[in-house]
Amino acid sequence: MNTYNGSEGVESMKLRVGEVKLIIGRVTQTTACLERELERMGEKVRHIEQSMSEIVSDAAIEDIVNEVVEAVSARERGKKIYMQKGMGIPRTTGVTRFRKANIEAHKVKEHVKRLVDDMEVKRLKSKGRKQMHQSTKRNFCAFANEGVMSGKNADLLRFLFRKNFVGEEKWSTEVARYGEFAVTRMEFQCLSPATSLSCKVINICAAYLDEADGDCWFLPTYFGDRARCNEEQSCFANWVASTVDMCGLWRFHRRLRFCSKIFIPLHDRADDHWFLLVMNLLEKKALLWDSYPDPTSVARRMCHAREVMTLMQKVFSCQMTMFGDVYYHFPSFSVNLAEGQPTNPQTFDSGIFVIRHMQHYVDPWSIGFISEEHRNQVALEIVKSPRNEHRHVVMVAAVGTSVRTTTVGGENAFCPPTGSKCRSHRKRRDRAIRHPN
């Protein structure tokens, strides 16, 4: 059993306590991220339940039944038309009555179908444009620009968003990594149409943009999440150290005097909406780039931005104490919405707007914006980036799975086609190979 004596023992124990608190901070942050993902899943489940209850509601079924009953009653009344009132002889024969009955039945069926269609259209219109888009959402990546896309890029997208083979690991494989930031196949599925982006995708795009000697800094989304946590004053130094380690801020050490702009992606949990905070150090002002500046949410997002700027002051205060350092008081910066910024009412595209604003700041990149095309391009940029440590492996795997092979038990083996047509074609092909003319 080890014993500690004197000042060396006390310092060693302090170091161990600091390491334990650092681990606790990481676990706390990971738990917060998991809680946010669980909240999103719960909201999606509740939305599905609400949509299903509206489709099969008792009122809707009752309206359809009433319309059918009225239509059938009207048809029965129409059959009781007689040409001679006293004798009660029908004007038509049995054959003509049978034909008329079939025509009336067809009319009733078409009428009911139109009623059901009209009710569905009204329901979708009442849900709004966003819900209508989500109701027709596909569970795979739409190749909106496949007509002008190269074959290799199309094969790569199919590989990234394809269904798995039997016995294949579905989500654990990493498709991109740069330093401490990585994206797995599960996290990559957020680039499917009409899906909110994961923080992992935004973080790796921001990491790609960071240059060793650049004057623009790109911070991860963890920094904004960290600003919401309340640090303990008794261990303030350890809390700052854990923030620096968690967000990878050590790469900015002693570089504050060379920085001109800081880009920080932020997340509004209430609306599941991403927006971008850009701090201009030279002009001492901050701008919010928000694709949907809802008046009911602007104040909350402004408050979050203020919290982040306060955290910046706490973390980088030690960078302004030495001779030659430039001093900034970040909380005193003015915060405003960016003027003339592009907007989009679809909240699930807010992450795409944040990525594009970081990549093409101030440039008019959003002209003719098509969500599916930008999602495809972002997916290709992440995987094909020279900074992606898994780039070569993923590209080779995509080429291997795009070519059909009949190797039994091979790593990239495909299941043979089934069905009478495929089987007959196979047989004719085999006979042609065995017995050439």
The pLDDT confidence band at residue 273, using thresholds 50, 70 and 90, is very high
The strands making up 273-280's β-sheet, listed across from edge to edge, are 216-218, 261-268, 273-280, 285-289, 334-337
Q: Looking at residues 321-330, what average pLDDT do you find?
A: 80
CATH superfamily of 141-398: Adenoviral Proteinase; Chain A (3.40.395.10)
Which residues on adjacent β-strands are paired with residue 216? 261
Q: Which of 11-25, 77-91, 168-182, 243-257 has the lowest mean pLDDT?
A: 77-91
Counting residues of the chain whose pLDDT is more than 90, the rounded percentage is 39
At 86 the pLDDT is 43
At 408 the pLDDT is 32
279 sits in which H/E element: strand 273-280
Q: Which of 217-231, 234-248, 416-430 has the lowest mean pLDDT?
A: 416-430
Would you say 37 and 45 are in contact if contact means Cβ atoms under 8 Å apart?
A: no
What's the sign of the alpha-carbon dihedral 398, 399, 404, 407? Answer: negative
The pLDDT confidence band at residue 305, using thresholds 50, 70 and 90, is very high
Distance CA 161, CA 398 (A): 11
At 239 the pLDDT is 80
Question: Which residue did the predictor score with more confidence, 325 or 397?
Answer: 397
* Residue range(s) of every CATH 3.40.395.10 domain in the chain: 141-398
Q: Over the stretch 33-45, which tens digit does the pLDDT of each residue have?
A: 777 778 778 777 7
In this predicted structure, the answer to whether residue 282 has a pLDDT above a threshold of 90 is: yes
Q: Over the stretch 75-108, which tens digit does the pLDDT of each residue have?
A: 666 554 444 444 444 444 444 555 555 566 666 5
Distance CA 379, CA 141 (A): 10
The pLDDT confidence band at residue 134, using thresholds 50, 70 and 90, is very low
Distance CA 43, CA 23 (A): 31
The pLDDT confidence band at residue 298, using thresholds 50, 70 and 90, is very high
**HEC string for 87-154:** CCCECCCHHHHHHHHHHHHHHHHHHHHHHHHHHHHHHHHHHCHHHHHHHCCCCCCCCCCHHHCCHHHH
Q: Looking at residues 42-57, what average pLDDT do you find?
A: 70
CA geometry: angle 196, 264, 342, nearest 5 deg: 60
Q: Looking at residues 143-161, what average pLDDT do you find?
A: 73
Predicted TM-score (pTM) of this structure: 0.60
At 162 the pLDDT is 82
The pLDDT confidence band at residue 32, using thresholds 50, 70 and 90, is confident
The pLDDT confidence band at residue 48, using thresholds 50, 70 and 90, is confident
At 142 the pLDDT is 40
Q: Over the stretch 353-370, which tens digit does the pLDDT of each residue have?
A: 999 999 999 999 999 999
Mean pLDDT of the chain: 76
When mean pLDDT is compared over 95-99, 166-170, 178-182, 409-413, the highest value belongs to 178-182
At 334 the pLDDT is 96
Q: Which of 21-35, 57-71, 136-150 has the lowest mean pLDDT?
A: 136-150
336 CB-near residues (< 8 Å, 6+ apart) = 285, 286, 287, 288
Q: 262: helix, coil or strand?
A: strand
DSSP string, 319-339: GGSSTTPPP--GGGSEEEEPT
